[in-house]
Amino acid sequence: QKEVEQNSGPLSVPEGAIASLNCTYSDRGSQSFFWYRQYSGKSPELIMSIYSNGDKEDGRFTAQLNKASQYVSLLIRDSQPSDSATYLCAVAKFSGGYNKLIFGAGTRLAVHP
């Protein structure tokens, strides 16, 4: 079992729709969760972080966390073509007394006009 799992996609949504991206993780001890966006040929950039169960909203983005189900999701409202990218879920994993970020394989999102 991979430590962080995501559907690879592509997830195709029309402009203006809600895009829903999902992620599951294996380590029940993980406490910090992140969504990174990676445009083709570019490096990942942080868009959202979430630490507590429930929802966290930032503009058009909402991150959702359910630690009991070991599940994290990202909703993008009013999707725009500029949102087309790969979305990486990352989980902070404690090892040897320190925490490090483990990434999923990413979900490719395509927003079509």
Partner 1 sequence: DTGVSQDPRHKITKRGQNVTFRCDPISEHNRLYWYRQTLGQGPEFLTYFQNEAQLEKSRLLSDRFSAERPKGSFSTLEIQRTEQGDSAMYLCASSFASGTENTGELFFGEGSRLTVL
Nearer Cβ to partner 1 (40/113): 40
Nearer to partner 1, 82 or 98 (CB): 98
Residue 106 CA to residue 29 CA, distance in Å, equals 22
Contact positions with partner 1 (CB under 8 A) in 49-68: 49
**In this chain, which of 32, 60, 61, 70 binds partner 1, going by CB under 8 A?**
32
Per CB under 8 A, the segment of 53-61, 62-70, 71-79, 84-92 that binds partner 1 is: 84-92
Instruction: Please give the sequence-ordered ranges of beta strands (E in DSSP) within the chain, or none if there are none.
Output: 4-5, 11-14, 19-25, 33-38, 45-50, 54-58, 61-66, 71-76, 85-95, 98-103, 107-112
